[in-house]
Amino acid sequence: MKDDKEEGKGKVEEDNQGELLFAVKAAQQSLPEGVSPQMGEILAFIEGMAPFLKKETLIQIKCSSCDNYAPSFFPSEDDFSVVEPRAFCHAKKQPHHHLNLFTIAKCLEHSKEAQKKLLQLANSVVEEDLRPALADKKLYDRNAFASYDVDYRIIPERSMVCIEFGHDDDRDFIESGIEICILRRLDPGFGEDATKIKAVQTYGRPVMVVMAARQIRRLMGIDEILEGIAEKREMDIVYL
């Protein structure tokens, strides 16, 4: 059985779809003579699609790839111990369950530009900074009992890009335990460590989050390198 919350959600979606159909039919009936045939085609298209335009479907095809979308959020700006596991729109500054179908459909703030810039930054850090600086360093693989040249894998996510240190082995990437994530906004995935990130973050600047044991950082001598990269690229840096 559906609970009251699910039934209420379904009722709201039906109301939104019904309102959309009503508006389209009213517009079709009031089209003046001589109007472009394309206008009729557009309204017919909307009428035909209206039954399938559910809010969750729209979020999936439109919002989920947007810079402003987050799958979870901190309900309080001062308390990072509590995470709300529901989608959030940073443009509207509202959880998605507070936004109706029309608000989402009319939104023109969809963008992937911030994600593209962050990925470009990560690629530049790897190719222009890390590769030259660590060209003579080796990573020891305890399972293979061998040392390897340092290689990197870039993993883009919506609010950050992560750079993993490791090496390639028969087409597989073997991680070394060193990971750098460049954040453009606080991510609930870091949990209470978000407090440490917030403490060093300068408004508007990306943050380089370094996740590696102090011993391996010391053996690799990477702290000074990373500090230099952060200064050169105008990023804040924090070690977790």
The pLDDT score that the predictor gives to residue 5 is 53
Which residues, including other chains, have CB under 8 Å from residue 85's CB and lie 6 or more apart?
A: 71, 72
- pLDDT above 70 for 155: yes
Which residues, including other chains, have CB under 8 Å from residue 141's CB and lie 6 or more apart?
A: 147, 148, 167, 169, 174, 176
- pLDDT above 70 for 110: yes
Under DSSP, the state recorded for 84 is: B
> Which stretches of the chain are DSSP H helices?
4-29, 37-49, 55-58, 101-106, 113-124, 131-133, 194-200, 214-220, 223-232
DSSP-derived 3-state class of residue 119: helix
104 against 52, higher pLDDT: 104
Distance CA 182, CA 43 (A): 44
- pLDDT above 60 for 1: no
The pLDDT score that the predictor gives to residue 102 is 86
Q: Which of 13-22, 77-86, 222-231 is least confident?
A: 13-22
- Interval 209-220: pLDDT, tens: 999 999 989 988
Could you tell me the pLDDT band of residue 148, with boundaries at 50, 70 and 90? confident
Q: Domains of the chain: which residue ranges?
A: 4-106, 113-239
> Which stretches of 170-234 are DSSP H helices?
194-200, 214-220, 223-232
3-state helix, strand, coil in the chain (%, to 5): 45, 25, 30
**Tokens at 174, concatenated:** 């073997």
| pTM score of the predicted model | 0.80
Annotate 6-27 with three-state secondary structure: HHHHHHHHHHHHHHHHHHHHHH
Q: What is the dihedral sign for C-alpha 71, 19, 102, 61?
A: positive
Distance CA 194, CA 188 (A): 7
Most confident residue range from 70-74, 120-124, 187-191, 200-204: 120-124
In angstroms, the Cα distances linking 93 to 31, 68, 78, 103, 167 are 37, 9, 16, 13, 41
Average pLDDT of every residue of the chain: 87
Distance CA 225, CA 230 (A): 9
Distance CA 158, CA 121 (A): 14
Torsion (CA) 165, 168, 173, 176 in degrees, nearest 10:
-40
The pLDDT score that the predictor gives to residue 54 is 83
